[in-house]
Structure 1
Amino acid sequence: MTNLFGVDALIIEDAVKLDLSDISKELSFLLYILRNNTQDEILIKQYASDIDWTLFMKLAMHHRVYPLVYLRLKGVKASLIPSEVMASLQQHYHNNVMRMLHLSREMSQICEALKDHGVRTLLLKGPILATQLYGDLAHRTSKDLDILVCADDVEKAEQILVQLGYELQDERILENWKKTSHHFSYVHKKHSAQIEVHWRLNPHYDKSFSFDRLWERRNDVMLSHQVYHYLGNEDLLCYLTDHGARHGWFRLRWLTDIARLLPMINNDDMRAHFERYGGQQYAGQAFILMSRLFAVDIPAELTVVTNNPKAHRLAESALYYIKRMVKLNPVPEKSVALHYNRYLFSLMTGKQKVIYIFNKFLPNSRDASVLPLPKFLYFLYFPLRPFLWFWRRIKQPSI
């Protein structure tokens, strides 16, 4: 692994112990490309001499980093990379450009319509994140557009989306849906654009991250004569590390996002943010993974979060998913489902674990879809909840 990580990375390795001995050569090559803006053709020749290019492409696509891979390999001597690999990367890159342009158009239309109806919006990922972190929306992939709105505005936002041609994809039968979920998905009837409307940043509600407080700390940016709002840098780092942690970092793209964001962070403000609002263990996990996988230098003022034993345990747990190229969202593969559920529970604070267990006894709309009951019998969902949950588990299709 010395060829991949180099001298500086070995210093990091001494401080952060993670087992990378069984990482495939294809994944090692991918990591090498992602961590270096300029490529050493001697090293590339060594990798290319004994590499499964089909697996390499699968990894680049799975981790959603193929735009960066294409941009960094297209300047390499043509004889080093098979022409069919470069042609495939180029095609995927161009497809992503069109997809991101389409998503940007939807973002503009939706945000303008919501604003006209008095609905405040904070963009979480998508084209805004691509342009702010990478400088070009074509350099990052996005499957959908994530928009955070105030919980009181969700119904109004949905009405506007329906008028624009979007349809709700989630079950919403019982009236406690705002408590048992934190976002809903919508798909356009004609062109299939996907939108997620969030009313919380994550499943664990915290008043410190209420919409009004996030709005006060927001960033604003003007693109094409239109003003967009997104999370302030400190809130964005907390959101991205929390999101990546909950998904086991099974896509490397999320780590590259944070590596891009880190230089934009005011370290003193970030430390104060951690002390006031928490989230150190998720940031520590991300920083450890970035240090070991990408040899990213963590600012000295923020390395304190990597000294947390829990952050080390979480980083080691996440490697389990990164090495295996598994998919955990929206439903984890059955082969890793038990491991992933244990991992998710280990992420939580003591308070979050109590709330999580309590919420497991609350019926939700998925229960009602499995066993439809008339409204006057909704109370039966409480005693039936464990059985309905188990039934959904055994009926879950194998991936």
Structure 2
Amino acid sequence: KKNYNRVEKLIMNLGYEKEEHSKTFIDWKWRQHHEAFFHPEKKIQIEIHWRLHPAPTKEPSFNELWKRKRESKLTGHPVYYLGNEDLFLYLVAHGSRHGWFRLRWLADIDQMIRKDEITNQDKIILKKFQYYHLGKQNELLIGQALILASILLKTPISKDKHTYIGKKSRKLANLAITNIVEIGNTEFDYIKEDMNNAQGNYFC
């Protein structure tokens, strides 16, 4: 976080404005892990992170993440982003922490699975580092994410991932569905029926 002031100045000089923290939540400074900025004309939001997750959540060190980074080819300048396994676990942790109220987090997981971006080698690393992203509830939260992706987005879940699926992860998925319905005011009767009858038949 030592370079944060410099980054903040650069971003605000480009026309971005810092978003205020919620007035209804006491966001203690030691728990903060990012700051959000919004450009009023471009309608673009940028988040500056110095941690992946709020403290005191465990997470891999920066050096570990940097070793597994990927490079985007979309721009003329190198843009680095999380490796496959770290991105997958981050999406699971982030989505579960917020009750999956934004389906785009599941959409990202759906795309990673459909593109087969988690290779056999990645699965080894995934198993090794999932605790550092998700803590003791790692398998339950991964299972919840897989169930939600399968139910809501028809994501094909291969048999090698069935080890994450159990009664507790189904219960967590049910709670998330309720949260999604309440926030979005959406009718998901067919999804609730699928969840009630879920015995793994919607996995491939």
What TM-score do you get using the length of structure 1 for normalisation?
0.39
Question: Which residue of 51, 56, 66 maps to 1:200?
Answer: 51
Change (3 A) 1:227 1:303: same
2:169 aligned residue: 311
1:296 aligned residue: 155
1:69 aligned residue: none
Q: Where does the alignment leave 5 or more consecutive residues of structure 1 unmatched?
A: 1-150, 328-399
1:321 aligned residue: 179
Letter in 2 for 1:317: L
SS of the aligned residue for 2:157 comes to: coil
Distance 2:183 2:18 in 1: 30
The 5-angstrom pairing of residues 50-69 of structure 1 reads none
Does the Cα contact within 8 Å between 1:170 and 1:184 map onto a contact in 2? no
Give identity over the alignment, percent. Answer: 37
Distance 2:155 2:9 in 1: 44
1:190 Cα deviation from its structure 2 partner:
5.3
Letter in 2 for 1:266: T
Bigger shift: residues 179-188 or 268-277: 268-277
Distance 1:227 1:266 in 2: 24
Distance 1:161 1:192 in 2: 14
Distance 1:204 1:326 in 2: 29
Distance 1:275 1:306 in 2: 18
Richer in helix (by share): 1
The 5-angstrom pairing of residues 343-382 of structure 1 reads none
1:157 aligned residue: 7
1:160 Cα deviation from its structure 2 partner:
1.5
Alpha carbon RMSD of aligned pairs, Å? 2.5
Does the Cα contact within 8 Å between 1:259 and 1:296 map onto a contact in 2? yes
1:337 aligned residue: none
Whichever of the two has the greater Rg, that structure is: 1
1:182 Cα deviation from its structure 2 partner:
1.2
Question: Which residue of 267, 271, 281 maps to 2:140?
Answer: 281
Q: Where does the alignment leave 5 or more consecutive residues of structure 2 unmatched?
A: 22-26, 132-137, 186-204
Change (3 A) 1:180 1:293: closer
What TM-score do you get using the length of structure 2 for normalisation?
0.72
The 5-angstrom pairing of residues 122-271 of structure 1 reads 151-170=1-20, 178-188=29-39, 191-206=42-57, 208-262=59-113, 263-271=116-124
Does the Cα contact within 8 Å between 1:217 and 1:232 map onto a contact in 2? yes
Does the Cα contact within 8 Å between 1:208 and 1:277 map onto a contact in 2? no
SS of the aligned residue for 1:229 comes to: strand
Does the Cα contact within 8 Å between 2:100 and 2:180 map onto a contact in 1? yes
1:177 Cα deviation from its structure 2 partner:
5.9
SS of the aligned residue for 1:250 comes to: coil
Distance 2:110 2:41 in 1: 36
Extract structure 1 runs of 4+ deviating beyond 6 A: none
SS of the aligned residue for 1:296 comes to: coil
1:180 Cα deviation from its structure 2 partner:
2.4
Letter in 2 for 1:303: H
1:206 Cα deviation from its structure 2 partner:
4.8
1:226 Cα deviation from its structure 2 partner:
2.1
Change (3 A) 1:311 1:267: farther
2:195 aligned residue: none
1:220 Cα deviation from its structure 2 partner:
0.6
Does the Cα contact within 8 Å between 1:221 and 1:227 map onto a contact in 2? yes
SS of the aligned residue for 1:201 comes to: coil
Query: Deviation string for 1:89-128 (max 9, x for gaps)?
Result: xxxxxxxxxxxxxxxxxxxxxxxxxxxxxxxxxxxxxxxx
